[in-house]
Amino acid sequence: MELLDDSETEIFFRVLEKSISEQNDITLPQEVFTPLEMNIHRGPMAFKELIGYFKDPSIAKRQLIITRILPNGDSELAEDTGGVWRDLLTEFWCEFYDRCTMGRSAKVPCLRHDFGEMEWRSAGRILLHGYKFVKYWHVQLAHSFAMHCIDSKEDVLPSDLLQDFHNYVSIPDKEVFQKAVEDFDSVDMEDLLEALDMHNGKCSPTQENIKSILLEMAHKEIIQTPMFVCNCWKQVFNEMDITTSILDEIYSALNLSNKKVVGILSFPDDMDAHSTTVAMHLKRYVKSLDKQKLGLFMRYCTGSDLLTIDKITVEFTVFARPATTSSCSHMCMHATVVQNIRKLHGFPNRI
């Protein structure tokens, strides 16, 4: 790696935060803040352990003191100011999507024989607690489904329902459905019938009825099929003062984009030429990331793969040390001197 001079430069990414109790802006009675200590193993056990803890309804109102247990049985050294909980939430919801949902990029809960009412309510409390205390609401859940959980009396907009359905089905099915709506005569009828059959379509499609058929199928897949889960979560969400309009804001605010992440990078005011060059390449690097790697970058810096913080402070130092990260203090350090953007590529793969 080429150096600008004889010294090495490091980049520090830091999110300065208050403790969870200090940053929490929800007014609750004092007794609900009685801390609860949770020991959660890293790895596959974490999912069931967290579900088990949150079967207690009172936990949604309590501050958590989380200790992660390493594979060798030792406790992970970390001070949790929100990052440990965010990291655990990210891990939990990734596992939840693999085990308990269906859909491509819009996820909808699916029933499991080992998940009853208590387990589904527990998952709802995890979602609720994550939003209350660290503003974490996993936005891969289909928006229309989440809206129905909050207010089943409010009709979901057909456009929103259809968009969720397009993100729920496979890309080939999405493409054939969109083509059928836009130009029915040009669609491959065999592909269309096969796609409709995949989702138990019962009507013969025509140019006049194709959109209504898709809306009916979307309602079945997104709203009707997971209704048992929706009913379980309604009882949990009744404790949260949230409306469908607030939910719209949550989905808009938490969704990652390259522009948003670049916008929260905060650099020192008095950067020298070396640091200015590194800052320029760092911005270019973040802009070049695809959605998956952008999520990895954010999780590396903050513990969360969503936009749950307002600022990442970037610092530079000439002291050499290996690249490290801590989602507890939300600080990551990448020892590098960047004269070329290629030096940064591959960084998320090393997380």
State how far the Cα of 133 lies from the Cα of 136, in Å rounded to an integer.
Answer: 8
217 and 190 together in one domain: yes
Q: How many domains does the chain have?
A: 3
Q: b/e for 132-141, b at 16 or more Cβ within 10 A?
A: bbbbbbbbbb
**Residue type, position 143, single letter:** H
End-to-end distance of the chain based on CA atoms, in angstroms? 20
Tell me, yes or no, whether 285 lies in a domain.
yes
CB 248 within 8 A of CB 157: no
246 and 303 together in one domain: no
163 and 299 together in one domain: no
Q: Where are the alpha helices (DSSP H) in 101-142?
A: 117-134
264 and 249 together in one domain: no
State how far the Cα of 244 lies from the Cα of 144, in Å rounded to an integer.
Answer: 10
Q: Which residues of the chain have pLDDT under 50?
A: 1-9, 18-32, 320-341
CB 166 within 8 A of CB 222: no
Q: Where are the alpha helices (DSSP H) in the chain?
A: 20-23, 45-53, 83-100, 117-134, 143-150, 158-168, 171-182, 189-198, 210-219, 227-237, 244-254, 258-264, 273-288, 291-302
Tell me, yes or no, whether 2 lies in a domain.
no
Tell me, yes or no, whether 308 lies in a domain.
yes
281 and 303 together in one domain: yes
Maximum CA extent, the chain:
73
95 and 39 together in one domain: yes
Tell me, yes or no, whether 26 lies in a domain.
no
Token digits of residue 307 = 């936009």
142 and 287 together in one domain: no
Tell me, yes or no, whether 16 lies in a domain.
no
105 and 247 together in one domain: yes
177 and 54 together in one domain: no
Question: Which pTM does this prediction carry?
Answer: 0.77
Tell me, yes or no, whether 8 lies in a domain.
no
**Residue type, position 31, single letter:** E
State how far the Cα of 55 lies from the Cα of 275, in Å rounded to an integer.
Answer: 49
Domain span including residue 124: 34-150+226-253
Tell me, yes or no, whether 181 lies in a domain.
yes
58 and 129 together in one domain: yes
Token digits of residue 318 = 């000439």
Tell me, yes or no, whether 116 lies in a domain.
yes
pLDDT tens column, 62-101? 888 898 999 888 888 766 666 788 889 999 999 999 999 9
112 and 245 together in one domain: yes
193 and 269 together in one domain: no
